[in-house]
Amino acid sequence: MSRSVVVLDYGSGNVRSAVRALEHVGAAVTLTADRATALAADGLFVPGVGNFHACMAGLVAADGPYLIDRRVAGGRPVLGVCVGMQVMFEGSSEPSAAPVEGVGEWPGTVTRLEAPVVPHMGWSEVEVAAGSRLFEGVEGERFYFVHSYAAHTWELPPPADSFAVVAPRVTWATHGQRFVAAVENGPLAATQFHPEKSGEAGLTLLENWVRSL
């Protein structure tokens, strides 16, 4: 039986490539912002194209922070991609008319990359976290990035009881400086790169996620 996945439709640019990639790996995909459908799906895919504050405005209008928080609290999987990962943090230093808060599932602020060339655009290797399920079978592959901002620190402390809760698995990459490339934190996972644009490696990663739902 196919796993049902909602790609959250909140105005974040062209998401058809994400829909096609998820369908390719066997998911039954619905592109919608319908609250009940997003809560009931086996998995919720949160895309993100553009700048942080525009994405947050669209998310808020679609009740995205509530949907994400409700699903995570209930142990129901969510996958954020690119700015869809950045919004999981508390905020961003990206310029805007007024301060914009993130969804706040993870502590920390997303900041601009310090590198000779920004944006970071192209294929890069990643330092895969030990025990990663998301990267199973593609640990040595490159993935496609397009971004100017990233999380440069991971501030969520490990669980007090390591036998009861699996510690977050954090994967890193480097462009001028080291940054968070992916996180696996219980039901909430995210990638700074675009798996749907990362060829066979990206499809394998999405297949790993869909299989885990």
CATH superfamily of 4-212: Class I glutamine amidotransferase (GATase) domain (3.40.50.880)
Q: What is the pLDDT of residue 131?
A: 96
CA distance 205 to 6: 17
Model confidence, pTM: 0.96
Q: What is the pLDDT of residue 158?
A: 74
Q: What is the pLDDT of residue 74?
A: 97
User: What tens-digit pLDDT sequence spans the chain (213 residues)?
Assistant: 799 999 999 998 779 999 999 999 999 999 999 999 999 999 999 999 989 999 999 999 999 999 999 999 999 999 999 999 999 999 999 998 777 899 999 999 999 999 999 999 999 999 999 999 999 999 999 999 999 999 999 988 777 665 556 789 999 999 999 999 999 999 999 999 999 999 999 999 999 999 999
Based on DSSP, count helices (H) and strands (E) in the chain, helices before strands.
6, 12
Ramachandran assignment for 26, one of left (phi > 0), alpha (psi -120 to 50 degrees), beta (any other): left
Active site residues: 82, 194, 196
Amino acid letter, residue 50: G
Q: What is the pLDDT of residue 35?
A: 97
CA distance 185 to 209: 13
Q: What is the pLDDT of residue 162?
A: 57
